[in-house]
Amino acid sequence: MTQKILVLPGDGIGPEITAQASRILAACQARGLDIEVEEGLLGGAAYEVHGEPLPAETLEKAKAARGILLGAVGGPQWDKIEDLSKRPEKGLLGVRKQLGLFANLRPAITYPQLASASSLKPELVAGLDIMIVRELTGGIYFGQPRGIEERNGERVGFNTYVYSESEIERIGRVAFEMAHKRGKKLCSVDKANVLEVTILWREVMERLAPEYPDVELSHLYVDNAAMQLVRAPKQFDVVVTGNMFGDILSDAAAMLTGSIGMLPSASLNESGQGMYEPCHGSAPDIAGQGIANPLATILSVAMMLRYSLDEPALASRIEAAVGTVLDGGLRTADIALEGTRSVSTAEMGDAVLAAFEAQ
């Protein structure tokens, strides 16, 4: 059956990087992958045309798609929109929530060729392979009540950090399953020394543990976890945490791999439908220059093939092509070694495509 794929280029470097990833998707199609690809508007790009970041048309297309490939949304030109519900980021959060994409997988893998591009010592990161499992449709991002209001003559801002047992349990199961298939270690990250919501989080993780006897469960407070991640990152296999902690820890983990331009992600719901995007944002500081690293987005296509399209062989082929290109010494500016020439976004795309075709 033909599967529908929706590409949402978004804002800033989004269109530049999705253009390269779309070429890889087309190459898969040419090799028999039965997909139908269409494009849509999300974020600031959608706001400019429709006055809202998630137009009904985009949401409909997203619901009908098996896989969504997203570039990134947001940019300084939209940061002053007073109505928060119209900001580009709300478009992204809307797709996640409306499609129930609660399980966000963020793999931090250090390609051996890039160990020296990391800001940590190469021996600390060489061979690193961590999977961060971030809860994506709950927690403080979505909790009610929220707002900014007048109280006692001044404005106060407030948000609510809330998780139900069932929300914790379903992300816990994803993480335990993942650990079971990988290195059998699961570290749950919380702030159970201060926040009730994460006392419950820890309790539920403990309750699930006996169902996965081969997985060793440990717990860290988030401040310590952040420190451990840069002190000795290879101690981790799978990390499970809530929405905001996962957002922060995954950006930190990105630097272990050499660049935030290397970190792909998958956001899945219970039926395996997924949105795939680099972990980074729209990088307004380099947008339009053709120098962004497209590899996180290209690797996100590989994750789409693996998690939503059941094509692990094609996924591995893309990952191998990225390895080949890095072996050849090709680098965009963010991962370039001192004194080496860096290539453009499109040149990197050309090279990955050529390596993919050559296999």
Q: What residue 107 binds from ligand IPM, Mn ion, ligand NAD, none (CB within 5 to 8 A, per partner kind)?
A: none
* Footprint of Mn ion on 220-259 (CB under 5 A): 247
The reply to whether 132 sits near ligand IPM by the rule CB under 6 A is no
Residues of this chain that interact with ligand NAD (CB under 6 A) are 13, 72-75, 89, 92, 260-261, 277, 280-286, 292-293, 296, 334
Q: Is 108 helix (H, G, I), strand (E, B) or coil?
A: strand
Among 132, 279, 287, 335, binds ligand IPM (CB under 6 A): 279
CA 334 to CA 257: how far, in whole Å? 11
Cβ proximity to ligand IPM, 91 vs 326, nearer residue? 91
CA 15 to CA 73: how far, in whole Å? 10
The question of whether 141 is a catalytic residue gets the answer yes
Q: How long, in residues, is the chain? A: 359
Is 3 assigned a ligand-binding role in the annotation? no
CB 272 within 8 A of CB 307: yes
Specify the pairing of strand 185-190 against strand 216-221. Answer: parallel
Nearest alpha carbon to residue 326 among 334, 335, 317 = 335
Task: Please list the residues that pair with 157 across neighbouring strands.
Answer: 148
For 184-205, the DSSP string reads SEEEEEE-TTT-HHHHHHHHHH
Q: What residue 323 binds from ligand NAD, Mn ion, ligand IPM, none (CB within 5 to 8 A, per partner kind)?
A: none
The question of whether 334 is a catalytic residue gets the answer no
Helix (H) or strand (E) holding 6: strand 3-10
The reply to whether 46 sits near ligand IPM by the rule CB under 6 A is no
Q: What residue 93 binds from ligand NAD, Mn ion, ligand IPM, none (CB within 5 to 8 A, per partner kind)?
A: ligand IPM
The question of whether 237 is a catalytic residue gets the answer no
The reply to whether 93 sits near ligand IPM by the rule CB under 6 A is yes
Q: Measured between alpha carbons, how far apart are the two ends of the chain, in Å?
A: 26
The question of whether 97 is a catalytic residue gets the answer no
Q: Which residues are catalytic?
A: 141, 191, 223, 247, 251
Annotation: binding site for substrate? 96, 106, 134, 223
Binding positions for NAD(+) are 281-293
By the criterion CB under 6 A, which residues form the site for ligand IPM?
A: 74, 89, 92-93, 247, 279, 281
